[in-house]
A = this chain, B = another copy of it.
Amino acid sequence: MIIEQIGDGMAVESNYRINGKRLWTTLMAMAEIGATPKGGVNRVALTEVDRAGRAQFAAWCAEAGLSVRVDSMGNMFARRAGRDDARPPVLFGSHLDSQPTGGKFDGALGVIAGLEVMRTLDDLGIVTEAPIELINWTDEEGSRFGRAMMGSAVWAGIDSEAAIKARRDADGTTVGHALAAIDAEGPEPAVHATADAYFELHIEQGPILERDGQRIGIVTGAQALVWFDAILTGQESHAGTTPPDARRDALAGAAEIILLVERLMHEQGETGRGTVGRLSVHPNSPNVIPGEVRFGIEFRHPEDRIVEMLIERFPGEAQAIAAERDLTLTIRTSFRVAATPFDPACVSLVREACTRLGYAAREIVSGAGHDAVHVASVVPTAMIFTPCKDGLSHNEAESITPEEAEAGAQVLLDVVLARANRRI
Chain A interface residues (CB < 8 Å from chain B): 204-208, 211, 223, 225, 227, 236-246, 249, 251-252, 254-256, 258-259, 262, 265-266, 269-273, 275-281, 284-290, 296, 298, 300, 366-369, 391-395
Contact = CB atoms under 8 A, between A and B. Distances in A.
A276 B251 contact: yes
Nearest to A390: B235
Per CB-CB distance, the 9 closest pairs between chain A and chain B, nearest first, are: A206-B241, A241-B367, A240-B367, A255-B255, A239-B275, A255-B258, A286-B296, A207-B246, A205-B241
A395 B237 CA distance: 9
A298 B270 contact: no
B262 A252 contact: yes
A276 B255 CA distance: 11
A47 B97 CA distance: 52
A240 B259 contact: no
B237 A391 contact: yes
Q: Tell me which of A236, A240, A256, A284 has the highest count of chain B C-beta atoms within 10 A of its own C-beta.
A: A240
Copies in the complex: 2
A278 B255 CA distance: 13
Given A251-B258, A278-B281, A281-B278, A368 B241 contact: yes
A227 to B, nearest CB: 6
B281 A287 contact: no
A227 B240 CA distance: 12
A289 B270 contact: no
20 contacts: A206-B238, A237-B392, A238-B391, A239-B300, A239-B367, A240-B273, A240-B366, A241-B391, A243-B271, A244-B273, A249-B262, A252-B258, A255-B258, A275-B289, A277-B281, A279-B279, A279-B281, A279-B284, A280-B281, A287-B298
A340 B142 CA distance: 56
A212 B20 CA distance: 79
A239 to B, nearest CB: 4
Given A204-B241, A241-B367, 20 more contacts: A205-B238, A206-B242, A208-B243, A237-B391, A238-B393, A239-B298, A239-B300, A240-B368, A241-B368, A242-B391, A243-B271, A243-B273, A244-B266, A244-B270, A252-B259, A275-B287, A275-B289, A277-B281, A280-B284, A288-B394
Contact of A238 (B237, B269, B284, B367): B367
A181 to B, nearest CB: 27
